[in-house]
Amino acid sequence: MASDTISTFNYFLPPPDGSRPYNRVYADSTTGKPTRNWVDDPHDMQVGDVRGKEELYKLDNAGFQYGREAAKHTSFLNNDEIEREYYPESIDLIKRVTGASKIVIFDHTIRRRRPGELDNHNPQKRQPVSRVHVDQTPTAATGRVHRHLPPTEAPSLLRRRFQIINLWRPISHAAVDWPLALCDFRSVDFEKDLVPVAHVYADREGETFGVKYNPNHQWKYMKAMTPEEYVLIKCSDSIKDGSVAILTPHTGFQDPNTPEGTPPRESIELRALVFYD
């Protein structure tokens, strides 16, 4: 039985002075500079449970796609082991689902919710993100190709279709606590809803999309996703002629129906460059 719910989603409100929005990643508190110059814009949104009808949602129509396949690597405690064992099987999975010819995984994030602790961007203590966002803008996506592939390969790869797709799955137990919500791209106004936000690292700059509130947004989740289930999240697509979904905003959210004593959410998210012949 589907379990639709209502939760408060933190949307993006641009800086009132019109300046370029930014996030500082792993900001140094001694500089006195704020970690960001924009504010959250909370709105209560209905979230539809797609369990039982997840086949309706595909990367090319909604921007996300659920599947079921247990990972062979299950410990997720050691980054070297994750890269050595989980990356190759994930490349194989994404190739089979998408039909892509080349996959390059460029990073991963493990999130373990720690009630009462702040997410201070410590890479070892990342918590679920409670803010509507898209990981990459088109400019940042192209920059990722140049950053992670040799200069001899990048130009020819960029002439063909390429995407950035995240592979997300719960680890150790079902994600009943703080599940992941995805916004159906068909309900997104690409021109009006998305605002580029500078993602400032110590040595470089990326760019994400902040997402402005739109009452038309259609939010979906799959209740109680297990570690044997996954979702592919499209963050960017080089096809922009209106024939396919380009991206999907997403966020973790607090389900008010979560039973007392539910174990805190743990999940892993891989980020992959996806190329087609």
pLDDT at 178 over 70: yes
CB 231 within 8 A of CB 182: yes
pLDDT in tens, 90-101: 999 999 999 999
- The whole-number pLDDT of residue 124 equals 57
pLDDT in tens, 213-256: 999 999 999 999 999 999 999 999 999 999 999 999 999 999 99
Per the rule left: phi > 0, alpha: psi between -120 and 50, beta: everything else, 261 is: left
State percent of the chain over pLDDT 70: 92
Q: Cα(234)–Cα(237) distance, rounded to whole angstroms?
A: 7
Among the listed residues 208, 193, 190, the one whose alpha carbon sits nearest the alpha carbon of residue 22? 208
Top pLDDT among 32 and 137 is at: 137
Look at residue 215 and give its three-state secondary structure.
coil
CB 9 within 8 A of CB 45: yes
Global pTM value: 0.94
pLDDT at 78 over 60: yes
Contacts of 276 (CB under 8 A, 6+ apart): 99, 100, 101, 160, 161, 162
At residue 30 the predicted structure's pLDDT band, cuts being 50, 70 and 90, is low
In the beta sheet, which residues pair with residue 252?
Answer: 180
